[in-house]
Structure 1
Amino acid sequence: MIISGHQPNYLPWLGYFHKMISCDLFVILDDVVHSRSEITNKNKIKGPEGARLLSVPRNRSDKHCLIKDVTIAKDSMWHKNHWGSLHTCYVRSPYWKKYEELFLSIYSNPGEKLAQLNLRLIHVMREVLEIKTPLVLSSEISGITGSKGTRIINICKYFNADIYLSGTGARAYNDEMDFERNNIRLVYQEFEHPVYPQLWGNFIPGLSAVDLIFNCGPQSKDYLTKQVVV
């Protein structure tokens, strides 16, 4: 059994969903400490000027709290601004009208918690990408202790997984010997960013997956073909 996981990011990029489609169970790590340096609340889309950053404002008082407890700043027009940007950037795209209402329903009522907003967007995006991999919130798994690599190992053991598919950014703290001692094979994701039809000039990689979705529609899933990792 292959497990992978990631924090609940805002409008995740394609690599996020590639990792999701390449495993048997994807764990949303929502009960780890939130770091203000992470991209949990931001991502980029493409407009006529190039890459455009969208950032959800967080309450400044939410320091050193768990991701699931991070709240969105009140009295802000951010959601209308984000929707305006999405409209400006993608209204000319081939599949804007097909998916517009799916996203508008979320931006019309974004809620108060960042993680809940992100999860709603992730579910819509994975539906369009036709990803069937089951999701589970780490906050709903009882008895899991430890941090970083140790926590991941304990999650794998909880589900009797023998392979953990990790992002390359975790090389800095993953203890490969620790995984080996626990009979878990540590595999790093191999993802080559696809080139697909894009509006507004030269191709820009690394954007939110909404860029692919609005430009390629039902064909989007073809760019995330599952790779063999075992």
Structure 2
Amino acid sequence: MKLAIMQPYIFPYIGYFQLIHAVDKFVIYDDVNFINRGWINRNRILVSGKDSLFTIPLKEASQNKLINEIEVNWDSAWKNKWVKTLEQSYKKAPFFQQVMPLVEQTLGQEKQIFSEIIVANLQIINDYLGISTEIVPSSVIYQNTELKAQNRIIDICLQEKATHYINPIGGLELYDKQVFAEKGMLMNFIKSQSVQYPQLKNEFVPWLSILDVLMFNSVEKIHEFLNAYELV
């Protein structure tokens, strides 16, 4: 059984979905400390042909809180402004009509805990793309917060009886393949290959939010992108 573990990100880039697609079960690591100015509540989209950062406002977010303790600030003025920005930026994109309902579903949730909203958002996008990977939050199952770093990851893998753990390439210096092997598991890092597509008449801007990928590409084309990686 292939397993991956990642912190929750809202509308993350295509590499995040490559990781989800590569495994049988995807654990949302939501009971670790929130990271200020990280990617949990931020990402980039095209605005006037240039990459622009969007941030979903949170209530009293702090690195002293766990991710699953952080609430979202569902301010209607912010939501309306962001939807208008998306509409102005992507209304000429070929799949605008199909993708905006996914945004509206996400913004229309009544949940207050941001990580729960992200889990639902990931499932919404997975359903649209036909990705069947099971998504589970770490906070509701594993009960091992006394463990840290690699030891905790290995414990989750053992609890799930995983035979293959896949991690983003950014963790190359954090995890030791030999330690996983000693526990009876194969361990790899996923390395995304270049993904390019037309963004109207703009010069291509890579690695934007999945929203950009969805707006400009069919589900069939996105499946090609989902497989554009190597395991190292």
TM (normalized to structure 1)? 0.90
Where 1:77 maps in the other structure, the secondary structure is helix
Q: CA deviation at 1:17?
A: 0.2
Residue in 2 aligned with 1:112? Answer: 112
Residues matched between the structures, number:
230
Q: Distance in 2 between matches of 1:139 and 1:152?
A: 13
The farther-off stretch of 158-167 and 113-122 is: 113-122
Asked if the contact 1:6–1:29 (Cα under 8 Å) also holds between the matched residues in 2, the reply is yes
Residue in 1 aligned with 2:191? Answer: 190
Asked if the contact 1:5–1:20 (Cα under 8 Å) also holds between the matched residues in 2, the reply is no
Q: Distance in 2 between matches of 1:162 and 1:213?
A: 32
Residue in 1 aligned with 2:83? Answer: 83
Q: Distance in 2 between matches of 1:40 and 1:11?
A: 9
User: Where does 1:41-60 land on structure 2 (aligned, <5 Å)?
Assistant: 41-60=41-60
1:61-116 alpha-carbon deviations (Å, 9 max, x no partner) = 54411111111236563222221221111111111112322322332446422212
User: Where does 1:152-167 land on structure 2 (aligned, <5 Å)?
Assistant: 152-167=153-168
Letter in 2 for 1:213: L
User: Where does 1:173-188 land on structure 2 (aligned, <5 Å)?
Assistant: 173-188=174-189
TM (normalized to structure 2)? 0.89
1:6-61 alpha-carbon deviations (Å, 9 max, x no partner) = 11101110000001111121111111111114210100011214001110122235
The farther-off stretch of 26-35 and 172-181 is: 172-181
Q: Distance in 2 between matches of 1:28 and 1:178?
A: 22
Q: Structure 2: any 5+ residue segments left out of the alignment?
A: none
Residue in 2 aligned with 1:224? Answer: 226
Q: Distance in 1 between matches of 2:134 and 2:109?
A: 26
Structure with a larger share of its residues in strand: 2
Q: Distance in 2 between matches of 1:121 and 1:170?
A: 25
Residue in 2 aligned with 1:199? Answer: 200
Where 2:18 maps in the other structure, the secondary structure is helix
Q: Structure 1: any 5+ residue segments left out of the alignment?
A: none
User: Where does 1:125-144 land on structure 2 (aligned, <5 Å)?
Assistant: 125-144=125-144
Q: Distance in 2 between matches of 1:165 and 1:74?
A: 34
Asked if the contact 1:22–1:227 (Cα under 8 Å) also holds between the matched residues in 2, the reply is no
Asked if the contact 2:142–2:156 (Cα under 8 Å) also holds between the matched residues in 1, the reply is no
Q: Percent identity?
A: 25
